[in-house]
Chains A and B, each alone.
Chain A
Amino acid sequence: MNIVVVGYGPAAQRFVETLAGKGFDGRVTVIGEEPRPAYDRVHLTSYLSGTSADELTYAVPDGIVTRLATRVTAVDRAAKRVVTADGGAEPYDVLVLATGSAPFVPPVPGAEHAFVYRTIEDLDAIRVAAKDAVEGVVVGGGLLGLEAADALRALGLKAHIVEMSPWLMPRQVDEGGGSVLKGHIESLGLGVHAGSGVQEVVTGPDGRVAGLRKPDGTLLEAQVVVFSAGIRPRDELARACGLDVGERGGIVVDSAMRTSDPSVYAVGECALAGGMVYGLVGPCNTMAEVAADRVMGGTAAFEGADMSTKLKLLGVEVAQFGAMDGALDVTYMDPVGGVYKKLFISDDARTLLGGICVGDASPYAALRPFVGKELPAAPSDLLFSGAGAALDLPDEAQVCSCNNVCAGDIRTAIADQGVTDVPGVKGCTRAGTTCGSCVPMLKQLLEKSGVEVSKALCEHFAYSRAELFDIVRVRGITTFSELIAGHGHGRGCDICKPAVASILASLHNGHVLEGERAALQDTNDAFLANIQKNGTYSVVPRIPGGEITPEKLIVIGEVARDFGLYTKITGGQRIDLFGARIEQLPEIWRRLVEAGFESGHAYGKALRTVKSCVGSTWCRYGVQDSVGLAIALELRYRGLRSPHKLKSAVSGCARECAEARSKDFGIIATEQGWNLYVGGNGGFKPRHADLLAKDLSTEELIRTIDRFLMFYVRTADRLQRTAAWLESLDGGLDYLREVIMEDSLGICADLDAQMGQHVATYADEWRATLDDPEKLGRFVSFVNAPGVPDPSIVFASERGQIKPVMAR
């Protein structure tokens, strides 16, 4: 088969690349009018800042014949050949028109003196003209116009933008966004003249451009005028040879990219597909892939495309995705900060239709894939920056619109091709290789899938946490060095070290700072306190079940007062003391331990709190002593190291004042005993706990919880809460019941023994630390000046307490 392609732009390039990739073995000739093969027009502006034409130019695939600097002047469909300006001719079996589009230049007097912004040669000409110019005007305030104006500014000109519509980028933003955008553009030093047309390009007596006259008669002085007022498909060849063209231009094609002549295809910006001309490179690429597939007998179809855009203009983020209106909308507007964000939502407030962002495009990458799908969170939350960062994308959600790559494609690349970084994803899927706006999304998918698809904990261990747990247990390994020497590589990292530390602690229950274990801990465990943003720590003594005597409350108050700590009641029914420097921690804890307090493990992946309600002792509705049980459970499981933190609560009746069903294990009193719920979670992805067993006696309850916790500790992934663990458990709740209540795996005796060992060997970490001079010696800010406080820690006061002040 003999294929001729007319026009050598990005669409033609993608067409021949796809053919080559599919192993096409016929003859392919590309005839292009420009002096070089296709180049990256999307990054054309970088040519002015030093990127060379060669760097922008794509490689011609092997075996493709090119005829450059050659214009096709006619298509002879009867003879199946094209005629070129140099008098030559090229026969074809299949013809592909990829002639792109040309900038629209309005027919005003003097327009012939103006420039356009489309090719490398256009930019060369603008650069020459800018040399002895002071001011420049760009006609057109759309995506390309703003890019051109910014380029003029970078060339040293005072640049103005003239836009017909009442605001800039009318195709991407609404009026509110437009007004915020105007502020940004003006602060870049660009003049904005919206709501204004063009009368003529004025030339001086020397024949050189002197400015632009607006319809109201005023003259904008400028020595360079650039038209960027839209594009027109180059359909002149098609028109002349009798192919169907649209009323307003564009070569009519079907979903196979075929024109009205079955042996002629049209792709890219010259094509009118489904009544639309697409002026973005993403859809152009998709069209080229469809045509290549069809030529080779495939059945691919072009079914429209995402027109989302993100402006690459330095310093100003503008983005639009999906629809530009909807039954409902939610707007976040900060005129001072120059931020405008709006989401369009269906009338039932469930489906995301589209959005507009100015000044902060962070919702763009995160939310664009959700267009047409159920909102992943409350709209107001989604509009704040950073929100959405952790959203789980469905496989079919499009992540890269330039190259039509979905989340599933990327996950497949990660799982099947072992891709581990963004360059790898780019190489494998093309995602992120064009405009780059989806790269943050690629990173997130990598981060998430890294854990999801590869069981390997990190580069140091090829095992999952559960597998490592078994290795450690079965081989009786007691140190990290032994484990990594025998079963890993290198010297570990911030992922595997704490995970192994937790496994060793679950199995052996020695002190977390003993010997080599001290170097495995995250800073929180290393100092038995929670690090805060300024490098100080918070202290959370355990208050089992939330019950506390007045004496103990007074001690907490005295300690906080004497050390000048900020205090607050936590959401876990206890008290947090903030702002302690490292060297103060032992002194604070000496006082607390003396008064009978223990570590609350707020820093550890361990049991946190067992919350309680009032219960039958005082409450008129209570049917069981919820406080007594909560205290007993908290004391039983305190110090138990686990894959993630563990929380619990006990409610004295079905009114559920302790919110037990939001906990990893929650207990609700019944007339007959206790109902046990497991796998609840508050936090990022709330989940109600499932009922595991009903009307248990206290003894049965404790045995079931013992086994539940130990089975979780053995088999869960690193940082997997019980909610996610339960959901990923094959066979779910029924399976769990079989294992821990019917002993289907025959491991219950083991689990019971392991918990028995934990309860018997528990010792308060803080008391043990205070008794050990070597461990205590590490609680200094400076190893060479033990008494000296860290001078970078500074506080101000707020509502009568301290608050951190950061140097920057």
Chain B
Amino acid sequence: MSWTRICAYDALLPERGVCALVDGVQVAVFRTYDGDLHALDNLDPFSGAYVLSRGIVGTRKGEPTVASPLHKQVFSLVTGRCLDEEGASVPVYATRVTDGNVEVSVRGVAVFPEVLRTAVAAG
């Protein structure tokens, strides 16, 4: 698993995402209010635009979420699953903090959404 440094942890404003370019992948990185880090793919699967990092962060029934800034579909920051439309989801990437720096890895995918898994299995 290879890690890429993104920025200082303190540079992340709680509940406001940033986008990072990691091995050519656009990754949306979020720091929640209680300090947790989450990383999702930046591509909004509904609009086809790379914008999820610019959505509003919040919670739904306690689960941390981000809402697409384009058409407001809500995604879980934990699983990448869309909570408004069944079947849609975005990849989730691994994060960690080393020496006060946020690092992301797009190689070892933390959670690989089912949709993608079936697509891969199918060929």
Contact = CB atoms under 8 A, between A and B. Distances in A.
A368 interface: no
Interface in B56-84: 56-62, 64-65, 67, 69-70, 72, 74
A748 interface: no
Contact of B59 (A491, A521, A778): A491
A783 B56 contact: no
Contact of A519 (B6, B13, B47): B13
Interface stretch (A114-122, A389-397, A785-793): A785-793
A498 B56 CA distance: 9
Contacts of A49: none
B51 A523 contact: yes
Majority secondary structure of chain B interface residues (helix, strand, loop or mixed): strand
A808 B13 CA distance: 32
Given A523-B54, A526-B16, 17 more contacts: A459-B61, A491-B58, A491-B64, A493-B58, A494-B67, A497-B56, A519-B15, A519-B57, A522-B69, A523-B69, A531-B51, A531-B69, A783-B29, A784-B5, A784-B22, A790-B50, A792-B26
A37 to B, nearest CB: 31
Given A783-B11, A808-B48, A494 B72 contact: yes
B92 interface: no
A68 interface: no
A497 B33 CA distance: 14
Please indicate which of the listed interface residues B14, B48, B58, B67 has the most CB atoms of chain A within 10 Å of its own CB: B58
Interface in A766-808: 778, 781-785, 788, 790, 792, 806-808
12 contacts: A460-B58, A491-B57, A493-B74, A494-B58, A494-B74, A521-B56, A523-B55, A526-B16, A531-B54, A778-B13, A778-B16, A807-B48
B32 interface: yes
Q: How large is the interface on A (under 10, 10 to 19, 20 to 34, 35 or more residues)?
A: 35 or more
B55 A494 contact: yes
Given A491-B64, A493-B65, A523-B51, A781 B13 contact: no
B18 interface: yes
A535 B16 CA distance: 17
A784 B70 contact: no
A782 B58 contact: no
B7 interface: yes
A179 interface: no
Given A519-B13, A784-B6, A493 B47 contact: no
A492 interface: yes
Given A459-B60, A519-B16, A783-B29, A535 B7 contact: no
A533 B47 contact: yes
A518 interface: yes
Contacts of B49: 533-535, 792, 806
Contacts of A523: 51, 54-55, 69
Interface in A28-60: none
Contacts of B54: 523, 526-527, 531, 535
Contacts of B26: 782, 790, 792
Contacts of B29: 783
Contacts of B21: 782, 784-785, 788
A497 B58 contact: yes
Interface string A482-525: 00000000111110111000000000000000001011111100
Q: What 8 A-B pairs have minimum CB-CB distances, sorted nearest first?
A: A523-B69, A494-B67, A493-B58, A519-B15, A783-B18, A490-B59, A535-B49, A494-B56
B57 to A, nearest CB: 7
Nearest to B6: A784
Interface of A: 459-460, 481, 490-494, 496-498, 516, 518-523, 526-527, 531, 533-535, 778, 781-785, 788, 790, 792, 806-808
Contacts of A531: 51, 54, 69-70
Contacts of B47: 533
B40 interface: no
Contacts of A534: 49
Contact of B32 (A491, A520, A782): A491
Nearest to A480: B15
B48 to A, nearest CB: 5
B37 interface: no
Interface residues of B, number: 40
Nearest to A520: B56
B58 A490 contact: yes
A520 B58 CA distance: 9
A736 to B, nearest CB: 32
A493 B55 CA distance: 10
B106 interface: no
Please indicate which of the listed interface residues A526, A533, A782, A808 has the most CB atoms of chain B within 10 Å of its own CB: A782
Nearest to A523: B69
Contacts of A782: 19-21, 26
Contacts of B20: 782-785
B15 A491 contact: yes
B97 to A, nearest CB: 15
Contacts of A522: 56, 69
Contacts of B60: 459, 490, 493
Contacts of B62: 490
A520 B61 CA distance: 19
Please indicate which of the listed interface residues A460, A520, A522, A535 has the most CB atoms of chain B within 10 Å of its own CB: A535
A509 B15 CA distance: 22
Contacts of B11: 783
Contacts of B70: 531, 533
Contacts of B19: 781-783
B73 to A, nearest CB: 10
Given A490-B58, A523-B54, A518 B16 contact: yes
Nearest to B4: A784
B16 A492 contact: no
Contacts of A533: 47, 49, 70
Interface string B18-39: 1111100010010011000000
B29 to A, nearest CB: 7
A460 B62 CA distance: 10
Given A522-B56, A782-B20, A792-B50, A493 B67 contact: yes
A762 to B, nearest CB: 25
A96 to B, nearest CB: 40
A527 B15 CA distance: 15
Contacts of A496: 58
Nearest to B104: A784
Interface string B89-111: 00000000000000000000000
Nearest to B58: A493
Nearest to A521: B56
A496 B65 CA distance: 14
Please indicate which of the listed interface residues A534, A806, A808 has the most CB atoms of chain B within 10 Å of its own CB: A534
Contacts of B58: 460, 490-494, 496-497
